[in-house]
Structure 1
Amino acid sequence: MASGWAADGAVQDQIDSTISDAVAKARSQLHNGESATHCLECGEPISQARREALPGVQYCLACQTELDKKNQHQAGYNRRGSKDSQLR
């Protein structure tokens, strides 16, 4: 069933697109290659367990957490839109 001027399945298409975008962004942020032994930000040693769990890691857990907080994406719009916005 279509809603407004949207085609059948448009809502699912938007959901799929949002998920695909999130997966692509996460994959682009994965590291590969040799892990650093010391954090590039603070210089503290990176634990062996962290280096084995995440190949290519460059930051200690504390610095990576702070970087993730700074880079967290905040959705600023409704991708799906609403019927009211289509009628204006």
Structure 2
Amino acid sequence: MATGWAGDNAVQDQIDATVEDAVKRARSQLNQGPSLTHCEECAAPIPTARRQAVPGVRLCVGCQEVRDQQAAFSGYNRRGSKDSQLR
């Protein structure tokens, strides 16, 4: 039966669940399988140290940096207050 009041740890439980979901989503997006010997974008050789450090690597460092910069931009305002939307 709903009482209208949240439990003592309800907010922390929600935060924990959100973080856990984000970690699961990030892990599911990691590359799987063997690393490539050459970049799939520019065909440059991928150094052995990088292939050992990053399982399933598909891109050279340069191409990965470009992809990371493109993915870092988000057109959404992730701050929740109305004041932040005015900035």
Q: Tell me which amino acid in the other structure corresponds to 1:48.
A: T
1:1-88 paired onto structure 2 within 5 Å: 7-8=6-7, 9-72=9-72, 76=78, 78=80
TM-score, normalised to structure 1, is 0.67
Displacement of 1:61:
1.4
Displacement of 1:50:
0.4
Determine which structure has greater relative contact order: mean sequence separation of CA pairs < 8 Å that are 6+ residues apart, divided by chain length.
Answer: 1
- Taking only aligned residues, the RMSD between alpha carbons, in angstroms, comes to 2.5
Inter-partner Cα distance in structure 2 for 1:42 and 1:36: 12
Inter-partner Cα distance in structure 2 for 1:59 and 1:71: 15
- Percent identical among aligned pairs is 49
Shift in CA distance, 61/10, structure 1 to aligned 2, threshold 3 Å: same
Alignment size in residue pairs: 75
Q: Which runs of 5+ in 2 are unaligned?
A: 82-87
Inter-partner Cα distance in structure 2 for 1:43 and 1:37: 9
Runs of 4+ in structure 1 deviating by more than 4 angstroms, as ranges, are none
TM-score, normalised to structure 2, is 0.67
Q: Which runs of 5+ in 1 are unaligned?
A: 82-88
